[in-house]
Amino acid sequence: MRKTNQIVKEDVHRIVKDLGRLVENFRDKKILITGFKGFLGSNFTAFFHLLNQEILNNSLTVYCLDNSIVDLEDLTSPYTEGFTVVNGSGLNDLPVKDFNYIIHCAGIASPTFYRKYPLETISVNSIGYWEMLNNLDVSSLEGFLYFSTSEIYGDPDSKNIPTKEEYRGNVSCTGPRACYDESKRLGETISIAFHQEKGLPIKIVRPFNVYGPFMRLNDRRVIPDFVKFALEENVINILSDGTPTRAFCYSSDAINGFIRALLLGKPARPYNIGNGDSEISMLELANIISMNLGGTEIKYRESSEKNYLTDNPQRRCPVIGRAKTELNFKPAIHPSDGIQRVIEWYKETYFPNK
């Protein structure tokens, strides 16, 4: 079995190779990664750590910020060596405010956690975000990456799936997902207003169901959930009727798309980042995981969380023509390959003796 750090290294090398000379934009620069302990933040720290070591001669200065609100175990440490790591929520917690690039991953992304912390979820995407932009020293800012979400489309009608950026969404402002969906929508509006009024180079991405190494096993999103059931209880419990679909995008494809949006995207113009060719149902997902683990039994069960399926979209799939044309984004990893990689990562990280 490959070691987990080998999987992460291979992923970073694939991204670096595909980005080519674009990575030179980061030479001698200062970067802030917020939410660095989370799933995407951890992938970014791994990317910049290895890029710095192997290509940029450690010329990149990296600051990492997180308030640890999502109480998950810390897996990031091997990739933050040499970076300035700060426990906090805003710019006032940082020793400097003048960055060349900011990758703003802070947020509460897992439905289980944003239902548990609705006020904090709204705050980080709206008031906290506004304050951050308002207090930035923008004189040196070359790019700011804002993480919106595919959830801003809500539950689209069938003629708007696969979904283009122009679709305005079908979102409940009172349902259990509203704290996330509506505040992310406001976050996009804030991004556009700060660009229009103050000229901030804010790039907006709408990620569609990204998965991969560093998504914690107890994160409660579906891929770690199925793997956890399978490895701990020898059964995969599907908590719906198995028919809802998602287009899953492996993390190295997604990070590649995010970096492209940061460097090449037009400000205040949202880009869907996902893999439109990889839409599968929850049952198909369970089958792929089961096959990879030698035929784990699959069962249907109700969630213990009352609102687990309320406003849960039946289908979620992006049109990525804009990112393909304007960013030269080409997701390449099929779920069967990506899921095999992530299962190896989970086994090695959490169950080294299985």
Ligand X SMILES: NC(=O)c1ccc[n+]([C@@H]2O[C@H](COP(=O)([O-])OP(=O)(O)OC[C@H]3O[C@@H](n4cnc5c(N)ncnc54)[C@H](O)[C@@H]3O)[C@@H](O)[C@H]2O)c1
Nearest Cα neighbor of 335 from 157, 211, 200 is 211
Nearest distance in Å: CB 100, ligand X = 20
User: Does 278 help bind ligand X (rule: CB under 6 A)?
Assistant: no
Give the active site residue among 129, 180, 250, 271: 180
State which amino acid sits at residue 255: I
Closer CB to ligand X, 225 or 296, in the complex? 225
Q: Of all residues in this chain, which one has the CB nearest to ligand X in the complex?
A: 38
For 4, phi then psi, to 5°, come to: -55, -40
Going residue by residue from 135 to 174, which x/- string records binding to ligand X, judged by CB under 6 A?
Answer: ------------x-x-------------------------
CA distances for 71 relative to 67, 110, 113, 155, 196, angstroms: 10, 12, 9, 29, 36
Among 69, 161, 202, 286, which residue sits at the site for ligand X (rule: CB under 6 A)? 69
Closer CB to ligand X, 62 or 106, in the complex? 106
Q: CA 60 to CA 309: how far, in whole Å?
A: 43
Going residue by residue from 236 to 265, which x/- string records binding to ligand X, judged by CB under 6 A?
Answer: ------------------------------
User: Does 40 help bind ligand X (rule: CB under 6 A)?
Assistant: yes
- The DSSP call for residue 163 is B
- The DSSP call for residue 95 is S
265 three-class SS:
coil
User: Does 275 help bind ligand X (rule: CB under 6 A)?
Assistant: no
Q: CA 314 to CA 245: how far, in whole Å?
A: 6
Is residue 243 a contact partner of residue 281, using CB atoms and an 8 Å limit?
Answer: yes
User: Does 75 help bind ligand X (rule: CB under 6 A)?
Assistant: no
Is 180 an active-site residue? yes
Binding site for ligand X (CB under 6 A): 34-35, 37-41, 65-70, 89, 105-110, 124, 128, 147, 149, 207, 209-210
Catalytic residues: 180
